[in-house]
Amino acid sequence: MDVIAFREAWRALRGTSLPLEPDSWLLHIPNGHPLQQDISAETLCRWIQQEIQESETLFVLRTRSLVAEWLPEKPACAYQELLEIQQDNIRGCVWKTMADPIAIQQQLLGNSQLETIAMAHQAVLQSPHLPLKLQELRIPKPWGYEGWYTGVEQRGVTSFIDEQGSTELPYALNLFPESLLAHQEPPLILLKTLNPVPEIILGDLYLELHQEKWEVYIVTAIDETAWPDGVGQVRAGLHPELLKTYQQQHGDDWWSAYRKDFSRAIQNYETLRRKLDERLDQERSQRGYGLNQALSPEEMQELLSTIPEHLQQEETKLRLAAEAYVGSCPVRVGDVVSFPTWQMHSLQHGVRVIEFQTPHYERMIVMFGQKVLTQDHWNTEEALAGMKPEVYQPPQPELIWQQDGVRCERVVDFPDFDAFRLFVPVGQRIKLEGKGNYQLLIGVEGYGQLLVGGESCGTVRHEEGWMIPAVTDDCWLESRGTGDLICLQAIPKSS
């Protein structure tokens, strides 16, 4: 349908609208109507804005559907969309239940407030140009938990949240996609926190690498029971001293010798690991736990205590022998570590980080100090064959600009996106610019106020995340806490 055809259809449609107040109407677009599915809300709003008077408000209700790409069967999921259209403003909300147009009319009668409907459906009230707050979704892990902000997977779907309610990302992003995403397609850059428990082994993540996925961690907290001096560790790359020894002994062939011995050390550990995991599986059965059920760190600790002392010692010996081939990188709060593809890495216990990554789900497990629940084997040989044979060097943040103490540093320059670390001294402000792309924002330290067009539209505190639409203009972040504000910003690259 084009604008000419719309004008034809409009006359008939307008006659079917349900009256609310003297200057407002509710229009229900019936199923099967050409305006139901194929025309974006933004286009529909633009066309309708040309047809209404300055004083009028038109509510438009339609039933739409999207394909749930994150589920294995990829079902089509129906949802409803309510738009509030005035000549100079549009807003909207979406929800997954089906409401009757008469029921919506009843709810709107007497107040004609979109807020009432959003509240009734516990849906986020969206304006195309206003930032949306990300609601953290906690996914339990054997080593602690992940806090998801933008993840959309079978394991969990994250949501936006406001005073009215919460709306899952795929539905909310489908309401005003041109304004929110411009030319980008969902999914969004993956933003999450990794929160390993402070216990050694239990809180150590897989030693892994990725073929496609680029990752960056920004340290937000170091558990002092695990690291009393406040300096934690991330394991990554080869061990520098051992690498030198191999170079001295094997010259140019050092990597094949290093790799062979590293592989043998992992195999020795894996043989014992399997034996221990079998014993632990028997214990699991006796306690009524599922074999692949994720247990809380406390339950795991209790389970591990059933391993006899001599086997525990053997486990430590073989694990340390294999880990001796892996380097480690000291980290403090605010530090950045990033991993290009084929770079071996493992976040360690008690080191909490914010992570940005490209939204691919793939990994190769080099080794792990616990049973792997998501796959039945490690990928050691394949991983070693492709890995970067080098000592890990953390990236040096690149100063982009600074003025009056306000500083913007690029911490990641990945193929799909950039990430920046922003420092804003108390009382100062920084303009948030996506240059035509959406932005993700998350607080690390301090307290900030988000302002769009001079109006407050939310706060940014420690681990509070936001999505700023691609069209948002004149967006500022003002530092209003007692200490300096540090936050992170990720912006996709224009493709």
Interacting residues toward Fe ion by CB under 5 A: 215
Nearest-approach distance from CB 346 to Fe ion, in angstroms: 8
Q: Which of 347, 457 has the CB closer to Fe ion? A: 347
Contact 395, 411 (CB under 8 A): yes
Q: Which of 168, 215 has the CB closer to Fe ion? A: 215
Contact 94, 80 (CB under 8 A): yes
| Measured distance CA(296)–CA(417) in Å, rounded | 34
Nearest-approach distance from CB 373 to Fe ion, in angstroms: 16
Nearest CA to 1 out of 47, 68, 50 is that of 47
Nearest CA to 201 out of 322, 301, 96, 124 is that of 301
Nearest-approach distance from CB 194 to Fe ion, in angstroms: 9
Q: Which of 215, 335 has the CB closer to Fe ion? A: 215
Nearest-approach distance from CB 411 to Fe ion, in angstroms: 17
| Residues with Cβ within 8 Å of residue 105, at least 6 apart in sequence | 18, 20, 26
Q: How long is the chain?
A: 495
| Measured distance CA(182)–CA(455) in Å, rounded | 23
Nearest-approach distance from CB 234 to Fe ion, in angstroms: 11
Q: Which residue is nearest to Fe ion (CB)?
A: 215
AA letter at 278: E
- Across 97-231, where does the E strand assignment appear? 132-135, 137-141, 144-148, 152-153, 156-157, 159-161, 166-168, 190-196, 207-209, 215-222
Q: What angle do CA 242, 246, 248 make, to 5 degrees?
A: 115
| Measured distance CA(468)–CA(380) in Å, rounded | 40
Q: Which of 82, 205 has the CB closer to Fe ion? A: 205
Q: Which of 215, 464 has the CB closer to Fe ion? A: 215
Q: Which of 215, 315 has the CB closer to Fe ion? A: 215
Q: What phi-psi label fits residue 419: left (phi over 0), alpha (psi between -120 and 50 degrees) or beta?
A: beta
Q: Which of 236, 243 has the CB closer to Fe ion? A: 236
Q: Which of 215, 323 has the CB closer to Fe ion? A: 215
Nearest-approach distance from CB 278 to Fe ion, in angstroms: 27
**CB atoms near residue 275 (< 10 Å):** 13
Nearest-approach distance from CB 208 to Fe ion, in angstroms: 5
Q: Which of 146, 215 has the CB closer to Fe ion? A: 215
Contact 68, 170 (CB under 8 A): yes
The helix/strand/coil state of 369 is coil
Q: Which of 162, 215 has the CB closer to Fe ion? A: 215
Nearest-approach distance from CB 345 to Fe ion, in angstroms: 6
Nearest-approach distance from CB 338 to Fe ion, in angstroms: 11
| Measured distance CA(451)–CA(469) in Å, rounded | 13
Q: What phi-psi label fits residue 314: left (phi over 0), alpha (psi between -120 and 50 degrees) or beta?
A: alpha
Contact 429, 476 (CB under 8 A): yes
Nearest-approach distance from CB 209 to Fe ion, in angstroms: 7
Nearest-approach distance from CB 355 to Fe ion, in angstroms: 8
Q: Which of 180, 344 has the CB closer to Fe ion? A: 344
Nearest-approach distance from CB 233 to Fe ion, in angstroms: 16
Q: Please count the CA atoms within 13 angstroms of the CA of 24 that sit on its side-chain side.
A: 17
Q: Which of 315, 355 has the CB closer to Fe ion? A: 355
Q: Which residues of 474-489 are buried (b: 16+ CB within 10 A; e: fewer)?
A: ebbbbbbbeebbbbbb
Nearest-approach distance from CB 207 to Fe ion, in angstroms: 10
Contact 424, 473 (CB under 8 A): no
Q: Please count the CA atoms within 13 angstroms of the CA of 371 that sit on its side-chain side.
A: 19
Q: Which of 215, 223 has the CB closer to Fe ion? A: 215
Q: What angle do CA 332, 338, 342 make, to 5 degrees?
A: 135
Nearest CA to 157 out of 142, 173, 144 is that of 173
